[in-house]
Structure 1
Amino acid sequence: MTSDLTPQRVLRQWLLTTLGELGGSAPTAQALREMERRYGSHLTPGDWEGTERDNEPKWHNRTRFERKKMEREGLLVPARESRGVWRLTETGSDEYRRYRGPIVVPPQPTMTRERSIDPLQPDGNQSPTRIEVTTQRIVRSTAVAEYVKRVHDSTCQICGTRLATPTGAYAEAAHIQPLGHPHEGPDVSSNVLCLCPNHHVLFDLGMLHITDDLIVIDQHSGTPIGRLAERPGHEIERRYLEYHRTHHGGDGERS
């Protein structure tokens, strides 16, 4: 029974909008996380039920199914080419822009003039409910992440930014070769960077590449933007940098 599940056409609209707002592409896990952040309050209890095969939330499974349909329709780049990244085609980007256009609706009886509304603006929920969900996730080593951030004093290795907060400096540990299937990267300090949130996102999306000489390259323009900062006690293994470049469409060659 699917009567208590979010319709496929709605999942398509959410996915299209999410990818469009993320600049046209995102790794699978990030796309699903962002969809949940934006539209999670609209998901039904049935959407959160696990599939019989691997206990994945049904809305995850059905979004993946919709992603395949969108690929066949030319809205998304084929999976064999995008390699773990959901990326809009030019046709998909046009469809996203069409969805974003405001529509004019007839005035309500108490209104005196027409108004434009955005059909994608969520209604929200005045009294959010909670449901119990069982999930599986990779157990990351907190010690590894904290070690890398401590070595760099929570300072971004790309831009040199150190974010001060009332509870202390904030930085993020970014894995170069991602953990889990299909990447199977190791959770070791030589596969981890200390980055600010902005550069963490750009690096994960493949917008930044790092050569074996630790030169940071802007993938969009192909120009160097600086050199990755190093500190004693934290050495990056070049094979992980090579994996990242190859996975995100770089030449994978050693500099």
Structure 2
Amino acid sequence: MASELTPQQVLREWLLTMLGELGGSVPTARALKVMEQRYGALLSEEDWTLTKRGDESKWWNRTRFERKNMERAKLLVPASVSRGIWTLTEAGWEEYRRIPKVDPTVEIVEEPRDSSPAQPPNEPAGKVSPSRAEVNTQRIIRSTAVADHVKRIHDHTCQVCGIRLTTPKGAYSEAAHIQPLGHPHSGPDIVANVLCLCPNHHLLFDFGTLSVSDDLIVTDHSSESSLGHLREASGHLIERDYLAYHRNHHGR
């Protein structure tokens, strides 16, 4: 298996899964980062070798090639239109929903130390050819209409810092669920449970570094300082029960 390249169909399913679970629209740089974080351990040794040009790994080169195939299949918005943002079309969403609810994961097996290449002191040996296994999993199908609605209301401006990120495609923001959707949280996918945040504050909020009080004061718990009032917009009412759940979940 170490000498085999991951099939294009598998790369397509990974791309669809990544895009679907991140709301259907992801900048190229973040797409690479998320794909590597989530699936890097499942790639073969051959996937990690460089292309003949030597400027990128084969798996990323073939992933970008698959992106073009998905454009031709009308699963993604054309690059000439999206300009740096990988965006699912309606057909792409349908294909995402048809992906079997089976997700590969890494089987952790201790490798004998003497069979691994020599490593610098304190550097983990890792595995040249990770094993693979299959597990059943269920994915939450999020409503893009809800996320898009909240982002439109706020004009893609972060409710914490007030920054509006712009790209060649247009503004970019992320919809953050206050009470998470998955088990064991079972939060609702509704407007009152969603914030419009920039990627940095979305991450900090999800990990509990940021919390929001019932009077909408944002606290940064890394410094125990107040970041001021959460920015509001007409037509977006935030349910305080979800804010309380988020605080309680993270011990705030």
* Interval of TM-score (by shorter of Structure 1 and Structure 2): 0.5 to 0.7
Aligned to 1:146: 148
Closer, same or farther: CA 33–136 of 1 in aligned 2, 3 Å? farther
Match of 1:218 among 199, 217, 220: 220
Unaligned runs of 5+ in 1: 1-31, 44-54, 67-101, 105-116, 125-132, 251-255
User: What is the rounded CA distance, in whole Å, between the counterparts of 2:171 and 2:127 in structure 1?
Assistant: 34
Q: Secondary structure at the match of 1:194?
A: strand
From 107, 120, 125, the counterpart of 1:103? 120
Distance 2:103 2:139 in 1: 13
Contact 2:210 2:219 in 1 (8 A): yes
| AA partner of residue 105 (structure 2) | W
Q: Let me know the Cα RMSD of the aligned residues.
A: 3.5
Q: 1:196 aligns with which of 189, 198, 211?
A: 198
- Count residues in correspondence: 152
| Pairwise CA distance, 1:186 | 0.3
Q: Is the 8 A contact 1:173 1:192 kept in 2?
A: yes
Question: TM-score if structure 2 supplies the norm length?
Answer: 0.52
Residues 35-70 of structure 1 show CA distances to partners (whole Å, capped at 9, x for unaligned) of: 524423149xxxxxxxxxxx654636x57xx9xxxx
**8 A contact 2:178–2:194 mirrored in 1:** yes
Other structure's SS at 1:173 match: strand
Residues 147, 120 of structure 1: alpha-carbon distance in 2 compared, 3 angstrom cutoff? farther
- TM alignment of 1:116-155, pairs within 5 A: 136-155=138-157
User: What residue identity is the alignment partner of 1:249?
Assistant: G
- Runs ≥4 residues deviating over 2 A: 32-40, 55-60, 117-124, 133-136
* Paired residue secondary structure (1:224): strand
CA distance in 1, matches of 2:226, 2:127: 40
Identity %: 56
Tell me the CA shift for residue 222 of structure 1.
1.9
Of the two structures, which has the highest relative contact order with CA contacts closer than 8 Å and spacing of 6 or more? Answer: 2
